[in-house]
């Protein structure tokens, strides 16, 4: 049997590869000048992976509810490997766009599969969010850092640009291959998934009863990805405008920002054991709103003060990591096991629609020199996400999830949704434990009396 560390790496390496390949988009546009892509083709290169990801999410999530998470995770690794190899060997801008779409299909499946597999494999219903947070730390923390580090080292090596961008993608292909091997030999389906066989027509009635939480997770993930991917696919250019100098300086600045944001990602798993996911999500969006409002209002002054600009940008990245964790965790926890992959897949696909919109819109604003407008848009989007979280996200705990799962398993979906929105419940085991202690005391008293 694989150790917990190997199991965690096998589950999370797909998300790490995804974040690596997305971060690569931040740099490839600069180095792939040999392809001479038109401005429109450059936009498609950035957005192509999202188009494939949407398809992968809405297909692989539901498919995993039928064939299991293990087989689906392996399939995602195969598709991602093929796309990464084609990206590294692309001979034209059109070929690169097609390769990025294929990569996106595999990457898209990672979100619902890795998060649900991680949540289902946790020991107890209260540990799912923490496990997903650790998964997010592994993927979102190390993936972008690794890509920025590889890019910076390749730039320092003096290799020509047309070699640099191909090697960036080649490292992504190597990560995909490692993930495929690890998953084939170490992963298995969670026990609770193996026991579920569409009880009482849960799949058929899922959307009718779970429309509110599904709409909530989908809308909030869409808003979050407008923020995250719109910024992360353009921050090298934003820093270049702020910094000046060689392009590698911008890459180094992005690398430092990614490294400095890791502590906030490491803080999230602990925070989720103390505060409910809903509150963590609202805290993250509120902080992101305030930080970007500061950047928007003071951009003209801040861009001339590099240290202060970087500090405020790091603050917004740190707050951004909190809803990054919760959007993944909430959609992996609140839906019944039999349709968990479907619910998480639909939510994640909505997120990639937001990523496409954010990437396209923010790139246009950046190219036209309206960088402050990017921060205004992020602040407004974060404010909308705070309101959506307050209205649509249930405030649950582990006992709530366990109770809702039992109701859904019995076909009582309407009651299951109501249970989610009633808020945290006292763990039933506490009552059972008290009863057992009382019985033990009665038995001891009886024994003493007889003696």
Instruction: Kindly state whether residue 419 falls inside one of the protein's structural domains.
Output: no
Number of domains in the chain: 1
pLDDT at 194: 45
Whether the per-residue pLDDT at 380 is higher than 90: the answer is yes
C-beta of residue 268 within 8 angstroms of C-beta of residue 130: no
Instruction: Kindly state whether residue 341 falls inside one of the protein's structural domains.
Output: yes
Q: Determine the structural domain holding residue 63 and report its residue range.
A: 4-186+204-393
Per-residue pLDDT tens over the stretch 202-236: 566 777 888 999 999 999 999 999 988 777 766 66
* Region at 391 (left for phi over 0; alpha for psi -120 to 50; beta for the rest): alpha
Whether the per-residue pLDDT at 7 is higher than 60: the answer is yes
Instruction: Kindly state whether residue 8 falls inside one of the protein's structural domains.
Output: yes
Q: Rg for the chain (alpha carbons), in Å? A: 23
Q: How far is CA 40 from CA 93, 235, 363, in A?
A: 11, 20, 11
State the chain's mean pLDDT as an integer.
80
Other CB atoms within a 10 A radius of the CB of residue 33 amount to: 11
Whether the per-residue pLDDT at 193 is higher than 60: the answer is no
CA distance 39 to 360: 12
pLDDT at 202: 56
Nearest Cα neighbor of 65 from 191, 199, 211, 198 is 198
Instruction: Please state which of the ranges 31-35, 155-159, 346-350 shows the lowest mean pLDDT.
Output: 31-35
pLDDT at 288: 93
Per-residue confidence band for 363, with pLDDT thresholds at 50, 70 and 90: confident
Mean pLDDT of 156-165: 88
Instruction: Kindly state whether residue 364 falls inside one of the protein's structural domains.
Output: yes
CA distance 130 to 280: 12
Per-residue pLDDT tens over the stretch 250-279: 788 888 878 887 887 788 778 887 888 899
User: CA-based angle 52:58:63, to the nearest 5?
Assistant: 115
Whole-structure pTM over 0.85, yes or no? no
Share of the chain above pLDDT 70, in %: 83
Share of the chain above pLDDT 90, in %: 18
Q: What is the CATH number of the domain that holds 79?
A: 1.20.1250.20
Instruction: Kindly state whether residue 421 falls inside one of the protein's structural domains.
Output: no
Rounded (10°) angle between helices 69-88 and 39-67: 160
Whether the per-residue pLDDT at 410 is higher than 50: the answer is yes
Q: Which are the contacts of 342, defined by CB distance < 8 A and separation ≥ 6?
A: 61, 62, 65, 203, 206, 335
Instruction: Kindly state whether residue 195 falls inside one of the protein's structural domains.
Output: no
pLDDT at 336: 86
Per-residue confidence band for 166, with pLDDT thresholds at 50, 70 and 90: very high
Instruction: Kindly state whether residue 95 falls inside one of the protein's structural domains.
Output: yes
Nearest Cα neighbor of 113 from 75, 73, 78 is 73
CA distance 256 to 178: 26
Instruction: Kindly state whether residue 409 falls inside one of the protein's structural domains.
Output: no
């Amino acid at each position: 049997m694989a150790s917990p560390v190997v199991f965690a790496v096998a589950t999370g390496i797909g998300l790490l590869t995804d974040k690596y390949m997305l971060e690569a988009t931040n740099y490839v546009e600069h180095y792939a000048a040999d392809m001479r892509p038109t401005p429109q083709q450059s936009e498609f290169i950035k957005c192509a992976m999202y188009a494939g990801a949407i398809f992968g999410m809405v297909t692989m999530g539901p498919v995993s509810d039928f064939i299991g998470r293990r087989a689906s995770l392996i399939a995602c690794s195969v598709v991602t490997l093929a796309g990464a190899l084609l990206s590294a060997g692309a001979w034209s801008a059109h070929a690169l766009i097609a390769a990025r779409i294929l990569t996106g299909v595999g990457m898209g499946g990672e979100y619902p599969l890795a998060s649900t597999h991680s949540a289902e494999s946790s020991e107890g219903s209260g540990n799912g969010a923490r496990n997903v947070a650790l998964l997010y730390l592994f993927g979102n923390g190390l993936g972008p850092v690794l890509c920025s580090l590889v890019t910076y080292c390749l730039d320092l090596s003096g290799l020509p640009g047309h070699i640099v961008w191909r090697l960036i993608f080649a490292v992504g292909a190597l990560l995909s291959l490692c993930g495929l091997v690890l998953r084939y030999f170490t992963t298995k389906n969670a026990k609770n998934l193996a026991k579920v066989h569409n009880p009482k027509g849960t799949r058929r009635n899922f959307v009718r009863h779970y429309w509110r939480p599904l709409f909530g997770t989908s809308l909030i993930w869409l808003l979050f990805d407008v923020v995250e991917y719109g910024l992360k696919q353009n921050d090298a250019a934003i820093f270049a405008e702020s910094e000046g100098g060689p392009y590698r300086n911008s890459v180094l600045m992005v690398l430092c920002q990614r490294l400095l944001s890791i502590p906030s990602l490491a803080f999230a798993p602990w925070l989720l054991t103390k505060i409910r996911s809903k509150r963590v999500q609202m805290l993250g969006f509120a902080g992101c709103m305030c930080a970007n409002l500061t950047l928007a209002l003071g951009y003209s002054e801040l861009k001339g003060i590099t240290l202060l600009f970087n500090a405020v940008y790091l603050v917004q990245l740190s707050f951004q990591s909190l809803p990054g964790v919760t959007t993944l965790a909430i959609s992996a926890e609140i839906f019944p096991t039999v349709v968990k992959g479907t619910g998480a897949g639909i939510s994640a696909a909505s997120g990639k629609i937001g990523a496409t919109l954010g990437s396209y819109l923010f790139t246009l604003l950046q190219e036209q020199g309206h960088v402050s407008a990017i921060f205004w848009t992020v602040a407004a989007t974060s404010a909308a996400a705070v309101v959506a979280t307050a209205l649509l996200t249930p405030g649950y705990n582990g006992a709530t999830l366990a109770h809702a799962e039992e109701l859904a398993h019995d076909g009582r979906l309407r009651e299951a949704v109501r249970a989610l929105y009633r808020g945290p419940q006292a763990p039933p085991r506490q009552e059972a434990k008290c009863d057992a202690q009382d019985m033990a005391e009665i038995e001891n008293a009886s024994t003493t009396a007889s003696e």
